Structure 1
Amino acid sequence: MTIRDKILIIEDEQSIARFISTILAANGYETMLARTGSEGLSMVSSNCPDLVILDLGLPDMDGMDILKSLRGWSSLPVVVVSARSHEKDKVAALDMGADDYLTKPFGTDELLARVRTAMRHTRTATGNDELARRGTYSVGDLVIDYNKHQVLVGGVNAKLTLSEFRIVALLGKHAGKVLTYDYIIRELWGPRAGSDNQILRVNMANIRRKIEKNPAEPQYIFTEVGVGYRMAEGDGN
């Protein structure tokens, strides 16, 4: 089964939300819709989207407050769509951490281009040259294919679950660096997940059974006891 990138649309105008959702679905994305800011924040935490399209003029709260809240714990790419066309509004949103700003009305091609660009930002922001060039990360016999959402070992699909893939993908983006348990949990499950490492440990045990020749002596993902996990540095680093 092909895993599609999930995009959360936080937009209260039904016609615009339907327009965006239809375009994205027709181009291979999975879409979810929230009509209020509070609903949107809740869905970010519970559904782990790959990108958020955010309207600033929501009925219950300003979109800038949502953006500020997200940037307090996540680097999730955010494309702002708004009727606010003043330069100061665009600058404020971008300074707050938006990846892009799209002024209403906008066309199909422009929307898709901004989404693709924002997705690339997250893959290249860590300075990983291989990710920037090819959308893959490799070390030894292991390859993380970010475009196909697959992890291959010796050319064979390891058949990771969605949660397992997201863990490996995050570690691959920051290869060579230790990511703390709390950081990984916040990035993948949101701030409401708390600091219980059990779900992460269970997933990691399953991952190692699928990708390591000897899970007790890992080659790819190392444990920094009491701290977190580190992906081995890639062949191209």
Structure 2
Amino acid sequence: MLTESRHILLVEDDDAIAEMVAVHLAKDGFAVTRAKDAAEALRLFGGARPIDLVLLDLMLPGMDGTELLQRLRRTSYVPVLIVSARDSDVDKALGLGFGADDYLAKPFSLVELSARVKAALRRATTYAHPQQSEAEEVLRAGELTLDPVRLSVSKNGSELKLTAKELLILKLLMANPKRAFSKEQIYRAVWQDEYFGDENAIQVHMSRLREKIEDDPSAPRYIKTVWGIGYKLGEL
């Protein structure tokens, strides 16, 4: 069962919202631990009980949620789902750009929250325990090498630090070098979830991936934009 033994850290300073979310997720079988601020969240995250997913509000007393997210990302790829009243495109882009896995604006549906939590945990489980053959072919494009067994990417022999989703996006394109993918197709393949029509997630991840693999991100060679369709691997 997906929810069995799953431990969620809820970082939320609003007592009413925290209680509502904790009760709902508990009914779904999750164990929920609450932190009222970033300092308490960091202490709990470093505790004895592992955290499987973080639900993070951005507007926290003291250190804000964005800084907390950056600190978590220095040492962990734990799934982080931002739940915030700050719902502008800029806020969403920043949150996703700093390493959040998803972004849900307040007010939100508890049913949708549960669905997104479960989807994020499914993706994390798939990434942590890939069902891949040891003989799966290493992918190469130009100076890039992607090892699908070790889940690593290198350029000219130097390993690149990609997030899980950045690596999976690149793998999708490198494994299908002649195919153009729409944003919806990329989302479904990488996020393994229904496409909610929010293009920010794809655009932010593509931008950050280009910054890491391209010599000149403003004139990309590896990830080409196919206008009116989406993206494809460049002809190298």
TM-score bracket, normalised by the shorter chain, equals 0.5 to 0.7
CA spacing shift, 1:129–1:109, aligned 2, 3 Å: same
Deviation of residue 124 (structure 1)?
A: 2.9
Alignment partner, residue 44 of structure 2: 43
Deviations 1:69-107 (A, max 9, x none): 000010101100000010110011011110100100111
Q: Does 1:22 align with 2:30?
A: no
- Give the Cα–Cα distance (whole angstroms) in 2 for the partners of residues 64 and 121 of structure 1: 22
Equivalences, count = 136
Taking the aligned partners of 2:120 and 2:29, their CA distance within structure 1 comes to 16
The gaps in structure 2 that reach 5 residues or longer are 135-147, 152-236
Over aligned residue pairs, what C-alpha RMSD do you find?
A: 2.6
Distance 1:106 1:12, change over 3 A: same
Higher helix share: 1
Q: Is the 8 A contact 2:4 2:30 kept in 1?
A: no
Q: Per-residue deviation at 1:176?
A: 6.1
Q: CA deviation at 1:128?
A: 1.7
TM-superposed deviation, 1:127: 8.1
Query: CA–CA distance in 2 between the matches of 1:36 and 1:105?
Result: 20
Partners of 1:80 and 1:39 in 2: CA distance? 17
Give the AA of the match of 1:55: D
Q: 1:129 Cα shift?
A: 3.5
The Cα of 1:120 is off from its aligned counterpart by: 1.7
Q: TM-score, normalised by structure 2?
A: 0.53
Q: Give the structure 1 partner of residue 106 of structure 2.
A: 104
**Shift in alpha-carbon separation, 1:3–1:125, aligned structure 2, 3 A:** closer
Distance 2:82 2:33 in 1: 16
Closer/same/farther in 2, CA of residues 127 and 6 from structure 1, 3 Å limit: closer
Q: Which is worse superposed, 118-127 or 88-97?
A: 118-127
Q: Which runs of 5+ in 1 are unaligned?
A: 131-137, 140-173, 178-237
Aligned to 2:55: 53
> Structure with the greater relative contact order (CA < 8 A, sep ≥ 6): 1 or 2?
1
- Aligned partner of 2:165 in structure 1 is none
Once the two structures are superposed, residues 43-62 of structure 1 have per-residue CA deviations (whole angstroms, 9 ceiling, x without a partner) of: 01103211110000001111
Please report how far the alpha carbon of residue 122 of structure 1 lies from its aligned counterpart in structure 2 after TM superposition. 1.1
**Where does residue 80 of structure 1 map in the other structure?**
82
TM-score, length basis structure 1:
0.53
Q: Return closer, same or farther for 1:7/1:87 CA change in 2, 3 Å cut-off.
A: same
Instruction: Please state how far the C-alpha of 1:38 moved relative to its aligned partner.
Output: 0.4
Would the alpha carbon gap of residues 48 and 175 (structure 1) be closer, same or farther in structure 2, given more than 3 Å must change? farther
Compute the displacement of 1:175 (Å).
Answer: 7.0
Does the CA contact (< 8 Å) of 2:4 and 2:29 recur in 1? no
Cα 1:28–1:126, aligned 2, differ >3 Å: closer, same or farther? Answer: closer
After TM superposition, the runs of 4+ consecutive aligned structure 1 residues lying more than 3 A away are 174-177
Residue 192 of structure 1: aligned partner? none
Q: 2:14 — aligned with what?
A: 13
Amino acid at match of 1:43: L
1:42 to partner: Cα distance: 0.8
Aligned-partner Cα distance in 1 for 2:149–2:40: 34
